[in-house]
């Protein structure tokens, strides 16, 4: 599960986004970026994202494929009270365990709505796969849960974000990967050769290249990532020497480089 690609033990994760509305283009997924950043800061490497529709077998297959390959699998969506919320049954199927009203989840609702009878919707949201630990939902009550290495959360960003606060402390953390960016005022093609050589000489620094277009100017952001800041420093020094030699304008850039791919 851990590898040493960038010079440190890496804790890996995958994200499974469950939602027909994202695949149809009706809704723009806002959760991937949020979770990606949070995991990155915690030293957990997000290695794959999948978006699948609200279909039990497709969710179960994806969960089983991902939970064997990655240390953690986080899921968002499909744990509400309606007929199209099938994530919990899919999780039960993936793990081969039963799903039943969970006394701890029932208690959450009873304490939140004292004196009210439990509606069928709340009863449905209290159904939890056997062997799971609950994840708190301070926003609207209905809990998420964690079963083995799979963490099941709501799709509504506000609720997912609150759940992540309860989830993060329970996860094994890696050494956070540091990142530095250099903005080069030259097209990608002009730095390609230098970057390839640099990457060969610095195998433990992940060197990424991202073109940008601003009005009439084109340029390249070079992003260097490693858990070891000294290794990044050494690579950046060499990158700068190359850029000076080639007469290319450049400057250290903000970490937040672009809003689109």
Restricting to residues 237-256, name those near a copy of itself by CB under 8 A: 255-256
State the Cα–Cα distance between residues 105 and 123, nearest whole angstrom.
9
Restricting to residues 66-85, name those near a copy of itself by CB under 8 A: 76-77, 80-85
Per CB under 8 A, the list member of 6, 19, 71, 72 interacting with a copy of itself is 19
Restricting to residues 128-187, name those near a copy of itself by CB under 8 A: 155-158, 160, 177, 179, 187
| Binding flag, residue 207, a copy of itself (CB under 8 A) | yes
> Least separation, in Å, of the C-beta of 121 and a copy of itself?
3
Positive or negative, the CA dihedral 250, 256, 260, 261 is: positive
Restricting to residues 23-62, name those near a copy of itself by CB under 8 A: 23-40, 45-54, 58
Name the pairing type of β-strands 127-129 and 44-52.
unpaired
> Least separation, in Å, of the C-beta of 197 and a copy of itself?
9
| Binding flag, residue 94, a copy of itself (CB under 8 A) | no
Taking the mean position of all CA atoms in its chain, how far away is CA 192?
29
Per CB under 8 A, the list member of 172, 188, 228, 233 interacting with a copy of itself is 188
State the Cα–Cα distance between residues 126 and 143, nearest whole angstrom.
8
* Cβ-contact 129, 97 below 8 angstroms: yes
Q: Please state, in angstroms and as integers, the Cα–Cα distance from residue 31 to each residue in 17, 34, 37, 158, 236, following that order.
A: 8, 5, 10, 10, 32
| Binding flag, residue 196, a copy of itself (CB under 8 A) | yes
């Amino acid at each position: 599960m851990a590898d040493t690609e960038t010079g440190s033990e890496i804790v890996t994760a995958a994200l499974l986004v469950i939602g027909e509305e994202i695949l149809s283009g009706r809704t723009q997924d806002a959760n991937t970026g949020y979770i990606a950043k949070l995991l990155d800061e915690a030293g957990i490497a997000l290695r794959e994202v999948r978006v699948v529709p609200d279909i039990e077998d497709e969710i179960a297959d994806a969960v089983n494929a991902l939970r064997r390959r990655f240390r953690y699998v986080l899921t968002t969506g499909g744990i509400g009270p309606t007929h199209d919320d099938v994530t919990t049954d899919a999780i039960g199927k993936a793990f081969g365990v039963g799903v039943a009203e969970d006394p701890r989840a029932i208690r959450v609702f009873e304490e939140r709505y004292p004196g009210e009878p439990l509606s069928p919707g709340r009863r449905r949201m209290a159904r939890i796969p056997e062997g799971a630990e609950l994840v708190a939902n301070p926003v609207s009550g209905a809990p998420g849960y964690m079963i083995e290495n799979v963490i099941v959360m709501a799709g509504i960003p506000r609720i997912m974000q609150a759940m992540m606060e309860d989830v993060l402390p329970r996860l094994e953390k890696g050494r956070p990967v540091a990142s530095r960016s250099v903005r080069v005022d030259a097209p990608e093609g002009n730095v390609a050769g230098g970057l390839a050589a640099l990457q060969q000489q610095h195998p433990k620094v992940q060197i990424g290249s991202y073109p940008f277009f601003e009005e009439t100017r084109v340029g390249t952001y070079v992003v260097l990532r490693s858990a070891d800041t000294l290794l990044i420093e050494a690579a950046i020094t060499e990158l700068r020497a190359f850029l000076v030699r080639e007469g290319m304008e450049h400057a250290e850039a903000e970490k937040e480089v672009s809003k689109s791919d």
